[in-house]
Structure 1
């Protein structure tokens, strides 16, 4: 990556994943998500991310809605603030 351009190749959602913004921490490994498809979901932070990646309010994440219970989702990826700004500039998220 060149520092002049500031453009990085970021991980994008797969066909069954969506962008989401963390709106509230609920304690433990649960958060409230506002997803790009317009739905509010209960997000679960998986064990592989729980202690390695801190997730706070207003973080941009990729989540995978549960196929059997659409109002819940697993968090798959968290973007840094700089990466989230790049996604907003490129029009991927609001």
Structure 2
């Protein structure tokens, strides 16, 4: 599989095989530290904050989240110490991000 494409202008754009956080929407990487029960988790985020996050209803029974999982979180705008889980990476996807230096050093535990 080719990991880069060339457009007509000659610019090279990289194509990744996994979903990345949408920075425009405020999404960031995080590592699950603790399961608190009732769909709540404690997540260490890449910006240095430890946030209490919740698993939304549409993900609750479909995606099981464990400690030390890499996730994408979206902090709440009105309460910065809380957030919602957007996506959970599999172990293979997390290793891929680590190998390609797409993870910040603060939360890169997959070395």
TM-score by length of 2: 0.76
1:85 aligns with 2:82: no
1:19 aligns with 2:29: yes
- Please list the CA deviations of residues 29-69 of structure 1 after superposition, one character each: whole Å capped at 9, or x if unmatched: 10000001111000110000110000000000000000000
Secondary structure in 1 aligned to 2:64? coil
> Which consecutive segments of 4 or more residues in structure 1 shift more than 4 A?
none
Q: CA deviation at 1:9?
A: 1.0
Counterpart among 47, 55, 58 of residue 57 in structure 2: 47
Q: CA deviation at 1:92?
A: 2.1
Counterpart among 29, 45, 53 of residue 39 in structure 2: 29
Structure 1: gaps (5+ residues): 3-7
Structure exhibiting the larger radius of gyration computed from Cα positions? 2
Counterpart among 52, 57, 60 of residue 67 in structure 2: 57
The number of aligned residues is 90
Aligned Cα root-mean-square deviation (Å): 1.6
How far apart are the structure 2 equivalents of 1:79 and 1:35?
Answer: 15
Structure 2: gaps (5+ residues): 3-15
Secondary structure in 1 aligned to 2:59? helix
